[in-house]
Amino acid sequence: MISIKTEEEIEIMAQNGKMLAKIMKELAAMAQPGITTNEINKVAEDLIFKYKGTPSFKGYNGFPAALCCSVNDQIVHTPPSDRVLKEGDILSLDLGMKYNGYHSDMAITVPIGEVSSEALHLIRAVRKSLKRGIKKIRPDVTVGDISNTIQRHLEGQGLGIVKELCGHGIGKNLHEDPQILNYGKRKKGIKIKKGMVLCLEPMATMGSEEIKKEADGFTYATQDGSLSAHFEHMIAVTEKGSRVLTSLE
């Protein structure tokens, strides 16, 4: 079932998203060579509590922390650890917060120090595909229209699309209907309506689309070891278009 939010509910989620984006900015600034992902997670948890929220991911399907810290070939859902980030890595940070009864969710991929031009191309292309998907959102387009827009951008940039994982609705629950795949056909799927709040989260690889689960039981990584990137925003559907609730600007 897809929940339609009232203006009041969207305002609560907007407050939440604004705080989440602020936290994310601080985490991104910390992501430098020499730091461990545990240290970044610690700050994420402290800031969430400072804002009177609770981490959405901690305890979700047994996940042990607030922040997912997926490095290089790791796509999503990697628990923070004592892994030390090094120059040339790319790091996906994925964070959610429950505040006043509603969840928020966003992700960014950041370069650690200087990275290869291929890695930068990957990061930019996935970020752009999210932007394009968001631009497509307005009442009466279909979920397939959004998915297809993301797909065409990623494929046009020569990237592999992670097809097993997808975006979602969000609200009182972290994951709500509809599912929003990162590939699809125009005019297919349910129609977008004002009051929906959606998370778009394109994930792509520089190699094949095959993925595997790592031994930690949480991490999805590329099968061929190629780099992957991931971006996510939480977006409310408005009368004429959309409003990004987790904007970093």
| CB-nearer residue toward Mg ion: 95 or 122 | 95
142 touches 189 (CB < 8 A): yes
Q: What is the DSSP letter of 178?
A: E
For 134, other C-beta atoms within 10 Å of its C-beta total 19
**Min CB(198)–Mg ion separation in Å:** 10
Q: Of 67, 76, 71, 62, which Cα lies nearest the Cα of 96?
A: 67
Q: Which helix (H) or strand (E) holds 23?
A: helix 7-30
174 touches 122 (CB < 8 A): no
**Min CB(97)–Mg ion separation in Å:** 12
| CB-nearer residue toward Mg ion: 32 or 173 | 173
| CB-nearer residue toward Mg ion: 159 or 199 | 199
| CB-nearer residue toward Mg ion: 196 or 199 | 199
214 touches 132 (CB < 8 A): no
**Min CB(199)–Mg ion separation in Å:** 5
| CB-nearer residue toward Mg ion: 107 or 119 | 107
Summarize as ranges the residues that interact with Mg ion (CB under 5 A). Answer: 105, 199
**Min CB(246)–Mg ion separation in Å:** 11
Q: Of 168, 27, 183, which Cα lies nearest the Cα of 109?
A: 27
| CB-nearer residue toward Mg ion: 184 or 202 | 202
Cα–Cα distance measured from residue 58 to residue 38, given in angstroms and rounded to the nearest whole number: 14
**Min CB(86)–Mg ion separation in Å:** 27
**Min CB(84)–Mg ion separation in Å:** 27
Dihedral angle of Cα 45, 179, 202, 111, to the nearest 10 degrees: 10
Q: How far is CA 127 from the centre of its chain?
A: 10
> Closest residue (Cβ) to Mg ion?
105
